[in-house]
Structure 1
Amino acid sequence: MVEIKSDASLEAMREAGRVVAQALAATREAAKAGVSLRELDEAARTVIEAAGATSPFLGYQPSFAPVPFPGVICTSVNDAVVHGIPTDYRLRDGDLVSVDCGAHLDGWTGDAAISFVVGTPRPGDLELIAATQEALDAGIAAAVAGHRMGDISHAIGTVAERAGCGMPADFGGHGIGRRMHEDPHVPNRGRAGRGFPLRHGLTLAIEPMLMAGGRDAYRVAPDGWTLHTIDGSRAAHIEHTIAVTDEGPRILTLP
């Protein structure tokens, strides 16, 4: 069932989204060569707890996962696309890092992700991140009342195809609100003018995941969570929680 939120609920979701933005900023600031992924998780955890919020990631166990997720953020490095577990791995100069974070505050949820390079970047990584941001921006721009879900999906997929990037099949965005994952599913590819109708009060997490190798295939790590590119190419993941409004799309996870 798809829940259409009231304007008051959108304001409450904005507060949860603000916590997410602050937690992501803290992890980005902490991400230096030599810092472990567990330390990034601790930086985000500190922000979430200080805000009186909780993590919808910690302890989450969907049907595909062999164990509950052990962190408050996903940390996906280099060829890891999404769902990377925070481990003792220490960041190195040139690592491409994607951090996904959620927060649950006063009954409402926010979810967002960023991608960045630690230290000295490869030009190709900067191009990949830029393409992923462009895909997200295009998807958000298409989230207009009166449009359909396929318009968002088509906008994202068009940018990815133009950049020569693949995207993991069967993964995309989702509805969000009282829970982190709600209906409807937000595919990262689709046909314009098709799918679920967009209306004021619909809240979505839009999250393109681009793989530089151009292939859609991926492999799952032995941890049962982390998705890796099948060819070892780099990946980037950027996400915002947004609301469809009669005034245009509203991003709820900005700082």
Structure 2
Amino acid sequence: MVEIKTPEQIAKMRAAGLVVAAMHAACRKAAVPGATTKDLDEVAAKVLADHGAKPNFLGYGGFPGNICTSVNDVVVHGIPNRETVLESGDIISIDAGAIVDGWHGDAAITVFVGEGHAPELHELSRVTEESMWAGIAAMRKGNRLVDVSKAIEGYIRRQPRPASGRYGIIEDYGGHGIGSQMHMDPHLLNYVDRRRGRGPKLVPGMCLAIEPMVSLGTARTHVLEDEWTVKTDDGSWACHWEHSVALTEEGPLVLTAPDGGRAKLAEYGITAAPDPLD
């Protein structure tokens, strides 16, 4: 069952999304050489407290952090800890979430720590982020879920191959519905699987977390003994970008982007829906 939100509920999700954006802004500043991933978790916890919001990651299925901190070859679900010290040249994906009045926001960014990153890492992050925006631009009334998957995969496949030979679109994890819970139907693949059909129609009131995960190698992953941390099988580094998006009668609204997605959607000739909190 796909949950359809009212405009009032979308406004609450927008409030949660802005808290997530504030968490990312604070964590981006704190992601410097010498910081631990636990330091970032504490920064995120303070932002949540300052906004009177609740974490949706902490305690979810037993997860022990307010955010996921995934460094280098960790794709998703990295657990914040004191032992992982960030170094110049690292990349870290920070997946953050918040609950406001029972409604959820969820988004991820990839941050470059210090200096000395290979150009192909910058290109990996760019490709991953832009594929997310291609998927967001496909979230239009009358399209189907597969059109979002097709836009994400199509963008990645059209890019020049990296020196490693390929971009791996992670297959075991993808986007999802979001609203009164963090993870809801429908599951959103970041590639087209024709066996799954076209999926539901996209209608106003639907909200999706659109989140491509891409590596510089394999699409295959494995979970470590902590039962959370997901790494690439070949040790290739990976990026993760995510936004929560609402489809409204006026078009898409990127709930976790400070500007509601106006600037990036304009590049696709799309006018973002009005911000209900303006």
Q: TM-score, with normalisation over the residues of structure 2?
A: 0.87
| Shift of residue 15, structure 1, vs aligned partner | 0.2
CA distance in 2, matches of 1:152, 1:104: 25
**SS state of the match for residue 94, structure 1?**
coil
Among all aligned residue pairs of Structure 1 and Structure 2, give the percentage whose two residues are the same amino acid. 50
Moved over 6 A (4+): none
Letter in 2 for 1:37: T
- 1:50 equivalent in structure 2: 50
CA contact (8 A) 1:166 1:210 kept: yes
CA distance in 2, matches of 1:125, 1:119: 13
1:22 maps to 2:22? yes
Alignment partner for residue 197 of structure 1, among 186, 193, 201? 201
CA distance in 2, matches of 1:46, 1:183: 31
Letter in 1 for 2:119: P
Letter in 2 for 1:187: L
Cα deviation per residue 1:138-193 (whole Å; 9 max; x = unaligned)?
Answer: 00000001000000001111123334311222310000001101111111112698
CA distance in 2, matches of 1:158, 1:226: 28
Residue-pair matches, total: 248
CA distance in 2, matches of 1:250, 1:191: 27
- 2:121 equivalent in structure 1: 125
- 2:147 equivalent in structure 1: 151
- 1:72 equivalent in structure 2: 66
**SS state of the match for residue 168, structure 2?**
coil
Letter in 1 for 2:98: A
1:108 maps to 2:103? yes
CA contact (8 A) 1:73 1:86 kept: yes
**SS state of the match for residue 249, structure 1?**
strand
Moved more, 117-126 or 159-168: 159-168
CA contact (8 A) 2:172 2:221 kept: no
| Shift of residue 56, structure 1, vs aligned partner | 0.9
Letter in 2 for 1:188: N
Letter in 2 for 1:16: A
Cα deviation per residue 1:200-252 (whole Å; 9 max; x = unaligned)?
Answer: 01001000000111x21111112111111111111000000001123221100
Letter in 1 for 2:230: L
- 1:139 equivalent in structure 2: 135
| Shift of residue 94, structure 1, vs aligned partner | 0.6
CA distance in 1, matches of 2:118, 2:59: 35
- 1:166 equivalent in structure 2: 168
Q: TM-score, with normalisation over the residues of structure 1?
A: 0.94
- 1:207 equivalent in structure 2: 211
CA distance in 1, matches of 2:210, 2:144: 14
CA distance in 2, matches of 1:154, 1:249: 18
Letter in 2 for 1:136: M
CA distance in 2, matches of 1:41, 1:175: 25
| Shift of residue 95, structure 1, vs aligned partner | 0.3
CA distance in 2, matches of 1:118, 1:100: 16
- 2:229 equivalent in structure 1: 226
